[in-house]
A and B are shown apart, each in its own frame.
Chain A
Amino acid sequence: DIQMTQSPSFLSASVGDRVTINCKASQNINRYLNWYQQKLGEAPKLLIYNANSLQTGIPSRFSGSGSGTDFTLTISSLQPEDVATYFCLQHNSWPYTFGAGTKLELK
């Protein structure tokens, strides 16, 4: 199985800060990596698919980069509504696997 190592697991930042979250795959997953935002009690929401494509309706302050084994989600200017847990998903090969999540809070 492909292991997805996500870091950090917890992040505290201020409004307007640039925030980065990383996912490292245990083997090459090409660009088959999605990023999600999940707020308490809600379903995950797709932010970025295939490493760097912005899902329709998602603000442009969210961006993704990377390929192969190393991937990054960037929020260019943190907003209060971005407080949530973020996680990655690899859909290159079965079984599909998720990162453990990054809990983002406001400082």
Chain B
Amino acid sequence: QIQLVQSGPELKKPGESVKISCKASGYTFTDYAMHWVKQVPGKGLKWMGWINTYTGKPTYADDFKGRFVFSLEASASTANLQISNLKNEDTANVFCATGGMSPFAYWGQGTLVTVSS
């Protein structure tokens, strides 16, 4: 069965960087795109963008251009999200999600990123 397992919670200071990983199993990694989604605790969800797992090409939503980088370690079936120059408003639960019959069919468990001085 398709599974996405994300790295653990992170506590960072403003200005620092963080890297979140999402390890996929149960399917051929390059068959489906990997999406990233932000959820501020108690609030709604926002699509951050996606990475083509076959070509490695990332696409960023407008609010996530500049400080956000999607990357792959295809040999390890892992997608990564790096956020640099962290701000308080980056505090959120971040999910990876991939497709099957539909995009966003399967989700990781989420990684809580807390930015606090």
Contacts and interface: CB of A to CB of B under 8 A. Distances in A.
B108 interface: yes
Given A50-B102, A96-B47, 12 more contacts: A43-B108, A43-B109, A45-B107, A46-B106, A49-B102, A55-B105, A94-B61, A95-B62, A96-B103, A98-B45, A98-B47, A101-B44
Contacts of A22: none
A100 B62 contact: no
A44 B45 CA distance: 10
Given A89-B104, A94-B61, A43 B95 contact: yes
A62 interface: no
Interface string A32-70: 001000000011111001100101000000000000000
Nearest to A33: B102
A32 B47 CA distance: 15
Contacts of A46: 102, 104-106
Interface string B90-117: 0000010100011111111110000000
Contacts, number: 51
A50 B101 CA distance: 9
Interface residues of B, number: 20
Nearest to A45: B107
A91 B102 contact: yes
Contacts of A50: 101-102
A44 B47 contact: no
A91 B110 contact: no
Nearest to B102: A49
Nearest to A96: B47
A34 B45 contact: no
Nearest to A43: B107
A94 B48 CA distance: 10
